[in-house]
Amino acid sequence: MNNKTFQIIHIQQDTPYQQALTLQEEMVAKVVAGETFGALFMCEHAPVYTCGTSTQIESDYIGGNNIPVIKSGRGGRITYHGPGQRVMYPIVDLKLRGRDLKKYICDLQIWLIESLAELGVQAHTDDDVGVWVTTPSGEMKIAAIGVRVRKWVTFHGVALNIHPDMNHFNAIVPCGIQTKGVTSLKELGIEKTMTEVDQILIQKFQQIFQG
């Protein structure tokens, strides 16, 4: 396998969540088999709530709308995906990165923090594995992280709020955290298109994971 570059794959916005998961799993199998180096899937899902393996549905899901709720094999608890949110699924072979899952998650956080810095947003990590910003209203999550590993190859990934409908978060306790809220680039006064943000995200991803 001579071509050690990640494929950047944009999934159509109307692709169902489960179909996006199937595409990830197919790519994981190719990486495990040594057929390709890895990939980064770029998604913008139709509205959906996904439940990670630690979800406590009785307390995490409030309801009040018709958005579907789907079980997900990733780590973490319940979260929302929808238009205006960039969801990214890196397929990375951790056998080439020291088999270090903790470092991988730290690298995901660095990727998001450095990308947000390019957009003029100062972000940081917290006890939770997501990425946070400090606002006049308190600590707010701007990006969520939930991953899974199969034979040391990663899938699932991260979700960055660019300009989603933030009202859709009202039906859940995002990531099971009741004491803090969620925000987006738009709420922070950063008016950027998905394409503009993608350019930064892809460049930073390549710098951190391909170098």
Q: Enumerate the domain spans of the chain.
A: 7-209
Q: What is the mean pLDDT of the chain?
A: 95
pLDDT digits (tens, 9 = 90+) for 77-87: 999 999 999 99
The pLDDT of residue 125: 95
Q: Tell me the average pLDDT across 52-62.
A: 94
| Residue 199 confidence (pLDDT) | 98
Residue type, 70: I
- The answer, yes or no, to whether residue 12 has pLDDT greater than 90, is no
What's residue 211's pLDDT?
66
Cβ atoms of 158 and 143 closer than 8 Å: yes
Distance CA 92, CA 31 (A): 8
Kindly state the average pLDDT of the residues 103-123. Answer: 98
C-beta separation of 201 from 40 below 8 A: no
Q: What is the pLDDT of residue 2?
A: 54
Q: Which fold has domain 7-209?
A: BirA Bifunctional Protein; domain 2 (3.30.930)
Q: Which residue has the tokens 């396998």?
A: 1
Nearest to 87 by CA among 168, 138, 155, 161: 161
- The tokens 């997900």 sit on which residue? 72
Average pLDDT for residues 8-36, to the nearest whole number?
Answer: 94
pLDDT over 80 at 1, yes or no:
no
- Position 35 scores a pLDDT of 96
Q: How far is CA 138 from the centre of its chain?
A: 22
Give 14's pLDDT tier (boundaries 50, 70, 90). Answer: confident
The mean per-residue pLDDT over the stretch 47-68 comes to 95
Rounded-to-integer distance, Cα 72 and Cα 102, Å: 21
Looking at the DSSP assignment, which residues form a beta bridge with residue 8? 40
Q: Which amino acid is at 27?
A: M
pLDDT in tens, 186-209: 999 999 999 999 999 999 999 999
Task: Taking residues 68-95, report their average pLDDT.
Answer: 95
Q: Residue 202 and residue 115: Cα distance in Å, rounded? A: 9
Count CB-CB contacts under 10 A for residue 138.
Answer: 10
The residue ranking higher by pLDDT, 126 or 20, is 20
Q: For residue range 150-167, what is the model confidence (pLDDT) as tens digits?
A: 999 999 999 999 999 999
Give the integer Cα–Cα distance in Å for 62 and 67: 12
**Looking at the annotation, which residues are catalytic?**
175
Element containing residue 27 per DSSP (H, E): helix 17-32
Q: How confident is the model at residue 176 (pLDDT cuts 50, 70, 90)?
A: confident
